[in-house]
Structure 1
Amino acid sequence: MAAKVLFALCLLLVFIAESQATKVNNLFNVMNYGATADGKTENSAAFLKAWRDACNSNGNVTVMIPRGTYFLKQIVFNGPCRGWTNVIIDGDLIAPTDPSFATDKWISFRYVKNLIVSGQGKLDGQGSSAWEDCNKNHNCRPSFPISMTFDYVTNGYIHHLSSINSKGGHFKTYGCENIRFTNVKISAPGDSPNTDGIKISNSNGVAIERVNIGTGDDCIAIISGSKNVLISNVFCGPGHGISVGSLGRDDGEENVENIKVRNCTLSDTTNGLRIKSWARTLSKPLKASNFVYEDIVMNNVYNPIIIDQEYCPGGTCSNKDPSHVEISDVSFKNIRGSSNTQVAVNLKCSAKFPCKNITVNTIDLWQNRGVGKLSNLCSNVNGASYGKQNPSSCL
């Protein structure tokens, strides 16, 4: 039922957003506000002037960033605005090379209702300097700027943008309602640290469709408070796969529920479909429930299907406790392709809160040359298997 409601909301959002995009009454071109497309002049003042005039105008408005290269430091586009706001980015936006030019965000949209962001341009985070510093420290967990964030945006439609070489992540939603990404292209080297493609946090009703992601961390990361998420027709690789988590590191996190991933391809990733939680005690258990993964293709993927409730990156956890994240009602259906690890399906659940109602239906995974015979592992998990199981199911 929840999936049907989400699908209907997405269709309604697309119809409204696309219809509004064709009914623009007011155009605010950043060039008319003093912007310079030479790749050197800092343009945040001009961009903000255009945004403020557009945001304060009645009716449907467009902020236009025409072709060219625009140097841009940290900028926040604040709402609320009076009508539908359409931001067309046809130029290339480049960030400073200094990793510390901003805190954790480069370009932000905040408190905006009815927002469209699109265009043929690209966001260039110029992340190589940040990665170089981080790669010298293998335990590096920096707060380098995310290229574009959406905070408390309601009815958002992001399409046909490209993001390359982000210093931190590429896109992030926080506190959003009904937001959709389509035909977005995300690219960073496979060894670039912490460059998540799209991160979803405390958001309800997120759709990610027809998106191509190659990066150095999770292609898509679904974390605390995410609900009613639909991911379809996504290509992921390189990267760390499509992940729920990590969850359960700190008290105060919120439940994650109703996640659907379908018709996706993962290629040369270090994980496939992953749910991960910290081996830590919480004052109140956290719930992760109602996940559906179906019609997924794996090409040369490490850990094609993995639930890891002993997550501890870098081996920094001195005292491991059973995870206090309760995982339940998870379905893996029609998953096929090649594995780069001998353990193809690894369901490693919490001894304190075992996984409940985990089903695997029609799984066909085979080993790459030299990997050896595949197997599955289960611990602290209750569930069932149906249909073809290659390798043999441990449920």
Structure 2
Amino acid sequence: MDFFMLLTYLFSLFHNNQTGPSHSSPDVNSKIFNVFNYGAIGNGYADDTKAFMDAWEDTCNYIGSKSTMEIPQGRTFLLQPIGFHGPCKSKKIVFSISGNLTAPYAPYQWKCNEDYCHQWIEFAHINGLYIDGPGTIDGQGPKWWSLNCKKYEQACHRRPRGMVISHSSNVHISNIVVKDSPNFQMSLEDSKWIFVKQLTITADGDSPNTDGIHIQRCRNVFVHNSNIHTGDDCISIGDGSKYVNISGISCGPGHGISIGSLGRNGSKETVENVIVRDCIFRKTDNGVRIKTWQGGRGLVRNILFERIKLHGVTRPIIIDQFYCPHSQCNNHTDAVEIKNIMYKHIHGTAVKKPFVELLCSKSVPCRDIYMNDIDILDQDEGKGKKYHKRSSHPPAECINVRGESNGAIKPKLACLDSERH
């Protein structure tokens, strides 16, 4: 099966499975468990962790078609690190966030096991979970980000993730605001059939390692129609992820949408069958990126980036098989294999050359790289400025790449064969 046939298959798969596994039974024998009935205060200062745990225990153990844990609007609930774990007895578990959830204000106020907070809020081992808004989840990250890392090195390396979904299936997340988590804002791990839509995710543009949504070891993931503004990747796709469909994302500030990094310390890691389409990048450090470490092993394949709009992006298109964010990096001959990557209808402006960087290994070159209808202009040219600073860098760099281009391509890529008609 060639790449184009494969894409057709992937589109049909995504289209036919937009709702995931079917649970069509009516909501009879449903029940609502309000956290106020379990002693929650909701003033933003009193610790409501125990009340939430008690409410969750009843919500999860209720036998019926639908069980709802209700967090009322107009109040703010302070929570220490907390885990909402299944398996649960109802087919549909609703976590209704109308109010606001807040983490402890300062790092020293967090109560963690062995002084290490892996995450703040975790949902695990649940089938049929619905998390809905319009409430806000505030991870109180600024105090973590401002730590003096020379003095508090251990704490800097252990910033907790905000909201984690793990070992779960048929998960629906919608209409919530996630903000200022110390580390990843939301992390989807070891799960399948996850549907995310209409989220607002925010963190300071210079906040460290605050990926908006991180996807790891998941399959059948759909992320749609969300606004993400962070200090790192708006969405990052890590090892073991497959059948991921991302669309309608407004990204910026941030580092764009990334696959990787993969292959660190010689590890074998794989990402395959990913679609990113109809996304807008505004003043991001990167646009669409694939990054792998030298010396790594594994595979990135069957990736489509389509209908992407760029507004003042620094590095719009990147494949980097030499990723190493450190000052001292060793050369290796091994590399994560990258093949069957398609870029279609990518238009807009960039602020720094090169606009397209395809940097691949001599020993494991990138294969079957396709580009169609690419139009990336210098931002100053796009604004019609008569005088602007010219860069000595070429508009495109291409090393050890094999593939084809079709239609108008700007900037030109000498390494891709021009397809004849």
Which TM bucket (shorter chain)?
over 0.9
> After the TM superposition, which residues 39-78 of structure 1 pair with which residues of structure 2 at under 5 Å, given as runs?
39-59=44-64, 60-67=66-73, 68-78=75-85
> CA offsets per residue over residues 134-182 of structure 1, 9 Å max, x none?
6779x99723111100011100000001011111111001110100110
Residue identity matched to 1:387? G
1:90 aligns with 2:102: no
Structure 2 residue corresponding to 1:196, chosen from 202, 211, 214:
211
Tell whether the 8 Å contact from 1:209 to 1:233 is kept in structure 2 after alignment: yes
Provide runs of 4+ in structure 1 moved above 4 Å. 19-24, 134-137
**Aligned to 1:233, what secondary structure does the other structure show?**
strand
Aligned residue in 1 for 2:129: 115
Distance 1:323 1:252 in 2: 11
Tell whether the 8 Å contact from 1:187 to 1:215 is kept in structure 2 after alignment: yes
> After the TM superposition, which residues 138-177 of structure 1 pair with which residues of structure 2 at under 5 Å, given as runs?
142-177=157-192
Distance 1:215 1:311 in 2: 21
Asked which structure has the greater CA Rg, the reply is: 2
Residue identity matched to 2:351? N
1:360 aligns with 2:366: no
Distance 1:279 1:217 in 2: 21
Aligned residue in 1 for 2:4: none
Moved more, 87-96 or 22-31: 22-31
> After the TM superposition, which residues 11-50 of structure 1 pair with which residues of structure 2 at under 5 Å, given as runs?
11-12=19-20, 16=23, 25-50=30-55
Aligned residue in 1 for 2:243: 228
Distance 1:291 1:91 in 2: 39
Aligned residue in 2 for 1:309: 321
Residue identity matched to 2:344? K
Tell whether the 8 Å contact from 2:262 to 2:269 is kept in structure 1 after alignment: no
1:375 aligns with 2:383: no
Residue identity matched to 2:35? V
Distance 1:91 1:222 in 2: 30
Residue identity matched to 1:302? T
Moved more, 71-80 or 320-329: 320-329
Distance 1:310 1:214 in 2: 27
Distance 1:78 1:371 in 2: 56
Tell whether the 8 Å contact from 1:134 to 1:193 is kept in structure 2 after alignment: no
1:295 aligns with 2:307: yes
Aligned residue in 2 for 1:212: 227
Moved more, 227-236 or 350-359: 350-359
| Cα distance change of structure 1 residues 39 and 21 upon mapping to structure 2, 3 Å threshold | farther
Distance 2:12 2:269 in 1: 23
Tell whether the 8 Å contact from 1:310 to 1:322 is kept in structure 2 after alignment: no
Aligned residue in 2 for 1:329: 340
Tell whether the 8 Å contact from 1:310 to 1:323 is kept in structure 2 after alignment: no
> CA offsets per residue over residues 51-107 of structure 1, 9 Å max, x none?
111111111100001120011110001100112100001111111133362422000
How many aligned residue pairs are there?
387
| Cα distance change of structure 1 residues 182 and 20 upon mapping to structure 2, 3 Å threshold | farther
Distance 2:173 2:408 in 1: 39
> CA offsets per residue over residues 92-134 of structure 1, 9 Å max, x none?
1111133362422000001001100011110111111111126
Distance 1:43 1:346 in 2: 50
| Cα distance change of structure 1 residues 386 and 22 upon mapping to structure 2, 3 Å threshold | farther
Distance 1:312 1:273 in 2: 18
Aligned residue in 2 for 1:266: 281
Residue identity matched to 1:336? H
| Cα distance change of structure 1 residues 132 and 49 upon mapping to structure 2, 3 Å threshold | same
Aligned residue in 2 for 1:79: 86
- 1:363 is displaced (CA, Å) by 0.3
| Cα distance change of structure 1 residues 21 and 193 upon mapping to structure 2, 3 Å threshold | farther
- 1:250 is displaced (CA, Å) by 3.6
Distance 2:301 2:241 in 1: 11
**TM, length-normalised to structure 1:** 0.93
What RMSD over aligned residues (CA atoms) do the two structures have, in Å? 2.0
**TM, length-normalised to structure 2:** 0.88
Structure 2 residue corresponding to 1:348, chosen from 354, 359, 363:
359
> CA offsets per residue over residues 311-340 of structure 1, 9 Å max, x none?
1113242x2214520000000000000011
Tell whether the 8 Å contact from 2:263 to 2:269 is kept in structure 1 after alignment: no
**Aligned to 1:388, what secondary structure does the other structure show?**
strand
**Aligned to 1:257, what secondary structure does the other structure show?**
strand
Tell whether the 8 Å contact from 2:44 to 2:78 is kept in structure 1 after alignment: yes
> After the TM superposition, which residues 383-394 of structure 1 pair with which residues of structure 2 at under 5 Å, given as runs?
383-394=403-414
Distance 2:405 2:148 in 1: 42
**Aligned to 1:130, what secondary structure does the other structure show?**
helix
| Cα distance change of structure 1 residues 333 and 259 upon mapping to structure 2, 3 Å threshold | same
Unaligned runs of 5+ in 1: none
Residue identity matched to 2:77? Y
- 1:393 is displaced (CA, Å) by 2.1
1:3 aligns with 2:17: no
Distance 2:30 2:150 in 1: 51
